[in-house]
Chain A
Amino acid sequence: AASKTRHGKRHGKKSKSRCSKKPLHVNFRDLGWDDWIIAPLDYEAYHCEGVCDFPLRSHLEPTNHAIIQTLMNSMNPSNMPPSCCAPSKLSPISILYIDSGNNVVYKQYEDMVVESCGCR
């Protein structure tokens, strides 16, 4: 019998879930960056995953190009790949770290957390 994956789906056949925001917990210790980052040592970054297929939902805020590419993909999938599920809005986080002179620095890093996903 076909074994079920964690989503209760048939093994090997990935479900065609639509482009959406999914969890992604980042741990700077695992990256080996806890030797220069003081805080935070981990944070929720999220990521975008899923298919951008026809018809595109408006909340995915597709670009005009993505709309055209999606139409062409729906007409001839072998000839044109679908548009990409990617972050459409990102937000910054604050990081306190030690610089190369051993000084303590606060910096606001842009584009560190996915706020929303879209087809691009």
Chain B
Amino acid sequence: TSLLKRVQTASQVRASFNGSSGNPRGNIFLVPGATVATLLMLGALHARRLYDDKKVEEAREKGIEFEFQPDHKASFLRMLPLRSISRLFGSLTSVELPVWMRPHVYRAWARAFHSNLEEVALPLENYASLREFFVRTLKEGSRPIDPDPHCLVSPVDGTVLRFGELKGSGTMIEQVKGFSYSVSSLLGASSLLPVITEGDMHKESSEQQGNLKEKNKKSWWRFSLASPKIRDTVSACPAKGLYYCVIYLSPGDYHLIHSPADWNVLVRRHFSGHLFPVNERATRTIRNLYVQNERVVLEGLWEGGFMAIAAIGATNIGSIKLFIEPELQTNQRRQKILNSEPPDERVYELEGVGKTLKKGAEVAAFNLG
């Protein structure tokens, strides 16, 4: 309001200084007019988004599968400075809000994105900024962890997009009907992903009597970490019993990532890629969306063998904070020119067991911008 008043006063002073005989009220309405127009545009975009979401939901209920169809909007997105936009958005949402304004802003956010404010851990006034509110914790007991020792639990709140078993050559995950991406590209070329090449198949048949768990512990990661090499992802097949699950988090969801099981994280990889949106439309129109976007991958071992979590950023939620490695910085100014450059990799305690995480423990958080 003070800014608006200052602009109004300045325009009036300027008009009188210039001896302008024109009506100063024309200038007075310029700023509010622009603000109203911006709000209307944002409202229209939000309504359009809700309409699109509803159509997608209806289509999904009818069993209609969307096909991959690159369009001009996806091409246009590539030209936008999405990283700068994301960082600017992060700066704006980090601005400390007056205490009286906080509940109004957070309630508006919750209404727009269907967040449940009843489970928020602290009073709304305690969150100084929208960014802080976004990574809010929940009240004790809001997310009970399934006690069954023979189950794997969801690491996040969200919508299940895809799941299944990895089969066939190339270890591919379907992005949408008509387009798939390789798991090795998602996790990194030096991934510990248990794949079987032709040579491995012969070797493995002679080791059938061995202890699988011991083998998991010793061969995969020692081999991969001691002498990382790029595997032939086309001819390699995933080992049996390898599964995947893709979960999308909408802006209103609780954005902390928890551990899906008791496991030891051995490696962290940070890919500094693009920051395309990852909504339904983007998955249908941008090739290799998850492989191109900035992401943090954690890999390790659990009682079943291999496990990896890839946390993939987007334009609005660009940075990822790792609780097990707080010093890791993501969504930084671009230093690498090519996206094909190898990721930043860190091995947790090469000779030890890595970082031990309990089922349900907080692992990471997605930040606004």
A and B form one complex = no
